[in-house]
Structure 1
Amino acid sequence: MIYTITLNPTIDRLLYLGGKLTKEKNNRLDRIAYDLGGKGHHGSYAMSKLGVENQALGFCGTTNKRKLEKILEEKGINHDLVEVYGKPTRESYVLLEKDVSGSILITEKGYAVSNYDKSLLFDKIEEKVEAEDTVLIAGSMPPGFEIEDLEKLINLLNKIGCFIACDLSGEALKAAVKAGINFIKPNRFEILEIAEQGRSLLDTVKELTKTIDYVIVSQGGAGSLCGHKNEFYQITPPVVVVKNDTGAGDCFVGSFLASLTQQKTFAEALTMATACSASKVQHDDSTTFSVKDAQNLQEKVILEKL
């Protein structure tokens, strides 16, 4: 079983512009749509699409709870969220310009969680998670959830003995690595915050894999540099037409962890995750990808052993 933990969830409000975003002009919208936001929720969607059992944990605000739950249900995501009373789940605004590749993302900060909210989440995790499970902690932390709380969460999971994956950044990433985890996916800038200065990127990955089972460094359109034990790869994704890159990295993480639970090799998990991500960016919402398309794209992923 895989559990995803989204501490600071969001609802993506997709704003489809009729043209290019221009200052000092009335920019008209063609349409508005809603989709899942939050790295953990995106990961859960990818896992569910690949047929891997998972459950989304974390927080949700009560004032717009039904709005978030409706999207989760439409996406087929099993969930059990701690309600933060009297607060709305934040929204992220994804601007998509007509005939322009990619997107612009603007996010709200989110509500503050109390000690009571945190204790409910920790109790739920302790009750559910077992040693043979995988747990993904992904995304930003809400106001009120401090680094000490993250350390407490990881220590709890380490005590249980499960596989811990973290898709975090900044001080949260540093704390997670120090606490002891099994998977990280920083970008090429974030990895410099947790590595010894002066090393090459490959040497940095080699050093980190001495204490972290899986290290994947995102290099944007250039692919990923990946390490596990004594296996190191440069992954180059296939060339596709990008409509919306929001959620592509989260799709990679969810697909990679799903592939590991399906007993895929490290190389197979990497190529499948890269292919799922490549399929995702061809869609104009925050989550959708095609498994069939990904299977075809997988053959076009370039895997170079280092």
Structure 2
Amino acid sequence: MNYTITLNPAIDRLIFLDEKMENRKTNRITDVAYDIGGKGTHGSYAMTKLNVKNKALGFMGGLNSDKFQRILETKGISNGFTTVKGQATRECYVVIDRDSTGTTMLTEKGLKVSRNDVDTFQTNLKKIVNYGDFVLIAGSLPVGFFLEDLKKMIKILKETGCFVACDLSGDALKLATEVGVDFIKPNEFEIRELNDKEEELIPFLKKLNKKISYIVVSLGQEGSYCIHDGEVYRVKSPFVKEVNDTGAGDCFVGAFLAGIIMKQTIEETLRLASACAASKVMHNDSSTFNLNEVERLIHQVEISKY
């Protein structure tokens, strides 16, 4: 089975404006829509859309669980979220205007979990996962969930024999790298933080690849590097008209893992993930991509060995 873990999920409130948002001006909203938020849930949606069976896990707030579950149902995401009583799943406000080349996001801090919540989740996780499962841990940590808890969770998964993928940042990313998971996806700034001795990038990535099987360094619109089995691939994404870039990287990760699970070659996997992410930015919400667009865009992805 394949799982995603989103410890601090969100409900994305998409706010549409007819004109560019400006300070000291009444910015009139033309429409409001809702989407699932949180890196792991976006990964689940991507895998589901690509017909890769998976289940989304994590914490959700009891105060707005009905709203959260309705959005998951709309997206067709199978899930088993742990309810945190007396807390609400955070909302992220994504402002989209017609003339903008990007989006503005405002995000709440998120729910607070107790020791009992964390222990219950860890215990249940140990019962669920099996040898050979793929597990994606993605996004920020909620208040009350500490790095030691993350380390314990990764240890449970590794000892079980799971493929552990992490799309994390900051100290959580450093921890995942030190422990030695199977996949990470830092951006160009995060990889510099990991490379604290300021080594040359490619030799550093090759050295890191000895303990992490798949490394993707995201370069935004410039594409990405991928390092696997000591080989370095330079990936250039198709040029598309950007509407909303929120969730594009998460879409890439979900599609990348789907490619591995479907036993595609590394180049096929990179083409699929890049095409899905490119399609995602062409859509208004935080997760949607179109399979017909993917079929067209997949041939426009450029891959070369470094």
TM class by smaller structure:
over 0.9
TM-score by length of 1: 0.98
Structure 2 CA distance for aligned equivalents of residues 292 and 204 of structure 1: 38
For 1:179 and 1:305, how far apart are their aligned partners in 2?
Answer: 28
Task: State the one-letter code of the partner of 1:169.
Answer: S
* 1:94 CA drift (Å): 0.3
Q: Which residue of 1 is the match for residue 285 of structure 2? A: 285
Question: Which residue of 2 is the match for residue 242 of structure 1?
Answer: 242
Aligned residue pair count = 306
| Range with greater deviation from structure 2 (194-203 or 149-158) | 194-203
Where do 1:1-306 residues align within 5 Å? 1-306=1-306
Instruction: Tell me how far apart the structure 2 counterparts of residues 23 and 130 of structure 1 sit (CA, whole Å).
Output: 52
Return the alpha-carbon distance in structure 1 between the equivalents of residues 200 and 218 of structure 2: 15
* Mapped partners of 2:263, 2:299: distance in 1: 19
Q: CA deviation at 1:196?
A: 4.4
CA contact (8 A) 1:202 1:225 kept: no
Deviation at 1:204, TM superposition (A): 2.0
Task: State, as a whole percentage, how many aligned pairs show the same letter.
Answer: 50
Compute the TM-score of the two structures, normalised by the length of structure 2: 0.98
* CA distance, structure 1, for counterparts of residue 200 and residue 67 of structure 2: 46
Q: Distance in 2 between matches of 1:33 and 1:204?
A: 43
- Contact kept in structure 2, 1:205 and 1:226, CA below 8 Å: no
| Letter of the structure 1 residue corresponding to residue 201 of structure 2 | L
Q: Secondary structure at the match of 1:94?
A: strand
The one-letter code of the counterpart of 1:100 is S
RMSD value over aligned CA atoms? 0.8
Deviations 1:138-197 (A, max 9, x none): 000011001111011111111111000000000000111112200000001101222243
Distance in 1 between residues matched to 2:61 and 2:228, nearest whole Å: 38
- Can you give the 5+ residue segments of structure 2 that lack an aligned partner in the other structure? none
* Cα separation, 2, equivalents of 1:296 and 1:238: 10
The CA distance in 2 between the partners of 1:144 and 1:179, in whole Å, is 21
SS in structure 1 opposite 2:22?
coil
Give me the whole-angstrom Cα distance separating, in 1, the residues matched to 2:83 and 2:60: 5
Q: Tell whether the 8 Å contact from 2:192 to 2:198 is kept in structure 1 after alignment.
A: no
Higher mean C-alpha deviation, range 69-78 or range 289-298: 289-298
What stretches of structure 1 of length at least 5 have no aligned partner?
none
Q: Please give the alpha-carbon distance, in whole angstroms, between the structure 2 residues aligned to 1:19 and 1:214.
A: 42
Contact 1:137/1:165 (8 A) holds in 2: yes
Q: Quote the Cα distance in structure 1 between the aligned partners of 2:268 and 2:58.
A: 30
Write the distance in 1 (CA, Å) between the matches of 2:202 and 2:14: 37
2:195 alignment partner AA: A
How far apart are the structure 2 equivalents of 1:230 and 1:181?
16
SS at match of 2:153: helix
Provide the C-alpha distance between the structure 1 equivalents of 2:116 and 2:178, rounded to a whole number of angstroms.
Answer: 26
Moved more, 124-133 or 40-49: 124-133
Whether the 8 Å CA contact 1:130–1:161 is kept in 2: the answer is yes
